[in-house]
Amino acid sequence: MKILVVGSGGREHALCWKLAQNPKVEHILCAPGNGGTAEIGENVEVRDDDIPALVSLARQRDVDLVVAGPEMPLVLGLENALRQEGIPCFGPNAYSANLEGSKAFSKNVMADAGVPTAPFRVFDEFDSAVAFVKEKGAPIVVKADGLAAGKGVVVAQTEEEAIEALEDMMVKLSFGAAGERVVIEEALKGEEASFLAFCDGTNYALLPSSQDHKAAYEGDTGPNTGGMGAYSPAPILPKEKYAETAELCIKPILRHLAAKGEPFKGVLYAGLMYTENGPSVLEYNVRFGDPECQPLLMRLETDLLEIMFACIDGKLDQLDVVSTPQTACGVVIAAEGYPGSYPKGMEITGLADADAMEGVKVFQAGTKLENGKTVTSGGRVLCVTALGDDLAAAQKKAYEAVDKVHFDKSYYRRDIADKGLKRLK
């Protein structure tokens, strides 16, 4: 079987690594891929948002399954285009991908489906958006409707900050058309967790809970990033609560979309915030999180290829999706300056030493192979992931492995999973 994985991050390296464990998988293509995916399969220089090129690659190379890593190709209709060609795709169609592609769509679906979420209003017009901010006061949250590379959410502590964000999005069009429409919502307070489920349109199979670390520096300080580390399970969402949490945030969405004739197939990711009044959904993603994917796939025991086909074929109820009870912890090593500008081309050493440790896997993100060497090519460079019998053991092993890997001008957070450990005490 031939598989095409779309994307180039640590998540995509993890997807390739896991899929390659099925003996039926003969060849994995990754578009555009990175240094890690190049070691598993073949990188092809096709952008992850070039739908016609991805479809023609899948057709020309006789691919049996396309797996979408990031959201952009799904929002742009990759699944729809592949379906027309009769090529199976893991990931939802364009309609359902709007759960992530449009904040207004997503909030309206949540409201219709009865999912707990912060009270909100949608605005297309700057003056009325400003008037609403003045009426509600700060803190208040301003969100660009469309995809904005993770930068479209401003949690404003003052009215001025909120109005500045509105100006940026709606007047200066800093995010292009993505900011012409905005969602303004109540600011919630609490700890966040990620809850992901495989979905086949009707049935779902839950993955264990996980937690990302979005801030660049220790103690959740510094600028917002794509995620500096993750671990699973997250003590804030223990196993005993999975079923009731799914009733709250997974099941109603599946039911709602199925009733619209747009069954959701793929991974549904609920970003939760645990407020004083219980969990509230901040956002949905229509894919694996990065870096949550890395610890989740380290824990997944059921064959990923089988799960993906069960999702596509609507047969998830016939499969037992199991994860090891062990804990996984992933620490991202980034290039100095990320999420701002950063240097590239630094040689990475020690990868094999870290990978040789039992229960450790180094997932590569911003890397490429150059003359037999692995060098950095992005901001988030590696996600060093380890399994342990409990969170303390997984964290300890992950940092031992981090110590073995080196490149110039690197940085990482030393407190990944501390929040979870504190909760366990």
Q: Which residues bind ligand GLY (CB under 6 A)?
A: 212, 227, 285, 289-290, 292
Smallest gap from Cβ 155 to ligand GLY, in A, equals 16
Question: Do 69 and 17 contact (CB within 8 A), yes or no?
Answer: no
Cis previous bond, 295, omega within 30: no
CB atoms near residue 217 (< 10 Å):
15
Question: Which one, 5 or 122, has the nearer CB to ligand AMP?
Answer: 122
Question: Which one, 114 or 343, has the nearer CB to ligand AMP?
Answer: 114
290 binds, among ligand AMP, ligand GLY, none (CB under 5 to 8 A by kind): ligand GLY
48 binds, among ligand AMP, ligand GLY, none (CB under 5 to 8 A by kind): none
Smallest gap from Cβ 186 to ligand AMP, in A, equals 6
Tell me how far apart the alpha carbons of residues 418 and 421 are, in angstroms, rounded to a whole number: 5
Smallest gap from Cβ 411 to ligand AMP, in A, equals 21
180 binds, among ligand AMP, ligand GLY, none (CB under 5 to 8 A by kind): none
285 binds, among ligand GLY, ligand AMP, none (CB under 5 to 8 A by kind): ligand GLY
Residue 81, classed as helix, strand or coil, is helix
Question: Which one, 229 or 388, has the nearer CB to ligand GLY?
Answer: 229
Tell me how far apart the alpha carbons of residues 94 and 79 are, in angstroms, rounded to a whole number: 7
Question: Do 265 and 102 contact (CB within 8 A), yes or no?
Answer: no
Q: Is 93 left (phi over 0), alpha (psi -120 to 50) or beta?
A: beta
283 binds, among ligand AMP, ligand GLY, none (CB under 5 to 8 A by kind): ligand AMP
168 binds, among ligand AMP, ligand GLY, none (CB under 5 to 8 A by kind): none
Output the six-digit token pair for 18. Answer: 């896991």
Smallest gap from Cβ 112 to ligand GLY, in A, equals 23
289 binds, among ligand GLY, ligand AMP, none (CB under 5 to 8 A by kind): ligand GLY
292 binds, among ligand AMP, ligand GLY, none (CB under 5 to 8 A by kind): ligand GLY
Residue 104, classed as helix, strand or coil, is helix
Phi, psi torsion values for 232, nearest 5 degrees: -150, 135
Tell me how far apart the alpha carbons of residues 315 and 87 are, in angstroms, rounded to a whole number: 18
Smallest gap from Cβ 125 to ligand AMP, in A, equals 22
Tell me how far apart the alpha carbons of residues 227 and 412 are, in angstroms, rounded to a whole number: 11
Question: Which one, 280 or 374, has the nearer CB to ligand GLY?
Answer: 280
421 binds, among ligand AMP, ligand GLY, none (CB under 5 to 8 A by kind): none
Radius of gyration of the CA atoms of the chain, in A: 21
Smallest gap from Cβ 19 to ligand AMP, in A, equals 27
200 binds, among ligand GLY, ligand AMP, none (CB under 5 to 8 A by kind): none
Residues lying near ligand AMP in the complex (CB under 6 A): 118, 141, 153, 155, 185, 187-188, 192, 214, 271, 282-283
Output the six-digit token pair for 138. Answer: 């700060």
Q: Closest Cα to residue 200, out of 264, 246, 289?
A: 264
Question: Which one, 217 or 399, has the nearer CB to ligand AMP?
Answer: 217
**What DSSP assignment string belongs to 261-318?**
T---EEEEEEEEEEETTEEEEEEEESS--TTTHHHHHHHB-S-HHHHHHHHHHT-GGG
Question: Which one, 38 or 270, has the nearer CB to ligand AMP?
Answer: 270
Smallest gap from Cβ 62 to ligand GLY, in A, equals 31
Question: Which one, 48 or 212, has the nearer CB to ligand GLY?
Answer: 212
Query: Rounded to a whole number, what is the distance in angstroms from the first to the last CA of the chain?
Result: 47
Smallest gap from Cβ 270 to ligand GLY, in A, equals 11
Question: Which one, 12 or 192, has the nearer CB to ligand AMP?
Answer: 192
Phi, psi torsion values for 381, nearest 5 degrees: -100, -50
Tell me how far apart the alpha carbons of residues 260 and 258 are, in angstroms, rounded to a whole number: 5
Question: Which one, 95 or 288, has the nearer CB to ligand GLY?
Answer: 288
CA trace torsion 136, 223, 280, 297 (10° rounding): 160
Smallest gap from Cβ 226 to ligand GLY, in A, equals 6
Smallest gap from Cβ 76 to ligand AMP, in A, equals 19
Q: Closest Cα to residue 97, out of 77, 127, 81?
A: 77
The DSSP letter of residue 357 is S
